[in-house]
């Protein structure tokens, strides 16, 4: 005879952090859980940082009225930082004591809280105090998670100081990655925001109930095995579960002028985006625009010259220049909206700008999803000229074997989250556990 707990609906609250790169996986997870008959409460730190975040949240709640929206009002801001996203991380952490009554008051009582990886050092003590299981959603790759978890050990040792750029960083004999892939702030002496966050949050992740990663088995098999075989740390980690790639929500498709895109031949369009919080210099924006025009290929170009667009108060013509804008329109579509393209089996020409992007570019190249021009370095280090950009675009778009490999990865990705797929099973098993809490 089945117990009543097997029929009970799980009630899951989600707590994202700032920036579309962190918010988007939470939006997709909320949609996936709702479609699997889970009660979802979406906690939104208020105010949000950008216009894009506000719009995405509005679209989620309009598309899924059954998702409960709970605002988390943050303390007033003092001593603003230069980076608005890191500022927001800090503000959420400083306001975390206000979460306890908010979480306790939710009805029906919560089964679990799922917290963004950048908030765990502040939030886990809160959920421990009210005996609420807390899972962490790691919004980057499993490879990046290996660095995140081992960073305190690496930071304490002098081993990294003695390595050259291309030397491989090891921990207890286990190869992590070449030193050149590690975000520069993590290698600097003294304190900085990213370094402090890694040190504080990675220590606390080990105290969570489990770690969810937006990746899939066949994409990052080796890193996932390393994480779950307890090879990385001396203390035992909670289970690491691949639940991705979380499928895009239907409402995300409405952000782009899809009519134009549907009129183009299949596989003919270059998608150009540097992520949700990367702003290129005006000079690099214009070199990129000239390179796209010279490549002769059709393209959708997400233009971003500021980290945060709070409103569309400046026309794209002003950023790109009227004359270039006219030539761009002959072959391409220029937008402000940020989208994710990997789900569609799109070939990637990686150009890492900051953060985890070199780690991810390395994965992209190794599995055959795209290429990475390492000589371009980190973004902002140098201005890459239009001729070189045009040449690399023509090269990747003319690479038939890369196109076939990318389509194969698309099939693997969809299989992972489809019925009976590895990520689908991983998430379903978690939901069954949560129903019993």
Q: Is 401 left (phi over 0), alpha (psi -120 to 50) or beta?
A: alpha
Q: For the residues of 414-431, what is the DSSP string, one character each?
A: HHHHSTT-HHHHHHHHHH
User: Which residues form the catalytic set?
Assistant: 22, 116
Residue 240 CA to residue 198 CA, distance in Å, equals 18
pLDDT for the residue numbered 7: 62
Count of C-beta atoms within a 10 Å radius of residue 405: 17
Q: Are 212 and 114 in contact (CB under 8 A)?
A: yes
- Residues near 96 by Cβ (< 8 Å), separated by ≥ 6? 119, 122, 123, 126
Residue 106 CA to residue 153 CA, distance in Å, equals 38
The helix/strand/coil state of 335 is strand
Backbone angles phi, psi at 432, to 5 degrees: -65, -35
What are the Cα distances from residue 337, in Å, to 98, 212, 300, 309, 433?
33, 27, 11, 10, 37
pLDDT for the residue numbered 1: 37
Q: Tell me the H-state helices in 232-335.
A: 250-253, 258-262, 282-295, 316-320, 322-331
Q: What's CA 150's distance to the chain center, in Å?
A: 20
Residue 70 CA to residue 46 CA, distance in Å, equals 10
Tens place of pLDDT for every residue, the chain, 437 residues? 344 445 689 999 999 998 888 999 999 999 999 999 999 999 999 988 888 889 899 999 999 999 999 999 998 877 666 677 778 888 899 999 999 999 999 999 999 999 999 999 999 999 999 999 999 999 999 999 999 999 988 888 776 777 888 889 888 778 889 999 999 999 888 888 889 989 999 989 989 999 999 999 999 999 999 898 876 765 678 999 999 999 988 887 655 556 777 788 877 888 787 765 567 788 888 898 899 999 999 888 877 655 544 444 456 677 787 888 888 888 888 876 655 575 777 888 888 888 898 998 999 899 888 888 888 888 777 899 999 999 999 999 999 998 899 889 999 999 999 999 999 999 999 999 999 98
Residue 260 CA to residue 379 CA, distance in Å, equals 30
**Run of H or E residues at 269:** strand 269-272
pLDDT for the residue numbered 234: 59
Half-sphere exposure of 91 (CA within 13 A, CB side): 23
pLDDT for the residue numbered 83: 73
């Amino acid at each position: 005879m089945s117990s009543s707990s097997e029929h009970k609906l799980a009630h899951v609250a989600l707590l994202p952090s700032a920036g579309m790169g962190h918010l988007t996986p939470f939006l997709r997870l909320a949609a996936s859980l709702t479609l699997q008959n889970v009660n979802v409460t979406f906690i939104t730190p208020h105010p949000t940082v950008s216009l894009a975040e506000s719009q995405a949240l509005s679209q989620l709640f309009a598309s899924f009225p059954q998702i409960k929206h709970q605002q988390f009002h943050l303390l007033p801001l003092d001593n603003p930082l230069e980076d608005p996203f890191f500022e927001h991380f800090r503000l959420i952490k400083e306001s975390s004591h206000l979460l306890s009554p908010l979480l306790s008051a939710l009805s029906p009582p919560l089964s679990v809280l799922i917290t963004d990886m950048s908030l765990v050092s502040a939030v886990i003590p809160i959920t421990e105090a009210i005996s609420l299981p807390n899972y962490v959603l790691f919004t980057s790759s499993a490879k990046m998670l290996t660095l995140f978890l081992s960073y305190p050990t690496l930071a304490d040792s002098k081993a990294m100081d003695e390595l050259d750029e291309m030397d491989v960083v090891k921990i207890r004999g286990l190869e992590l990655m070449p030193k050149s892939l590690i975000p520069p702030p993590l290698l600097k002496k003294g304190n900085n925001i990213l370094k402090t966050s890694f040190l504080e949050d990675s220590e606390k992740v080990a105290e969570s109930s489990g770690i969810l990663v937006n990746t899939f088995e066949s994409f990052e098999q080796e890193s996932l095995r390393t994480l779950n075989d307890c090879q990385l740390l001396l203390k035992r980690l909670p289970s690491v579960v691949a639940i991705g790639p979380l499928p895009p929500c239907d409402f995300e498709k409405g952000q782009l002028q899809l009519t134009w895109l549907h009129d183009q031949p299949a596989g003919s369009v270059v998608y150009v985006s540097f992520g949700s919080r990367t702003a290129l210099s005006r000079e690099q924006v214009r070199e990129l625009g000239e390179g796209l025009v010279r490549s002769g290929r059709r393209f959708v170009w997400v233009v971003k010259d500021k980290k945060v667009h709070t409103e569309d108060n400046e026309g794209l013509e002003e950023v790109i220049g009227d004359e270039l804008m006219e030539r761009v329109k002959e072959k391409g579509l220029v937008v402000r909206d940020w989208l994710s393209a990997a789900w569609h089996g799109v070939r990637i020409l990686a150009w890492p700008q900051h953060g985890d992007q070199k780690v991810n570019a390395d994965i992209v190249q190794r599995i055959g999803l795209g290429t990475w021009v390492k000589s371009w370095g980190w973004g902002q280090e140098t201005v890459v000229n239009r001729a070189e950009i045009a040449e690399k675009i023509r090269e990747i778009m003319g690479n038939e074997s890369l196109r076939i490999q990318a389509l194969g990865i698309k099939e693997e990705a969809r299989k992972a989250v489809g019925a009976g797929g590895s990520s689908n099973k991983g998430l379903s098993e978690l939901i069954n556990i949560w129903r019993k809490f």
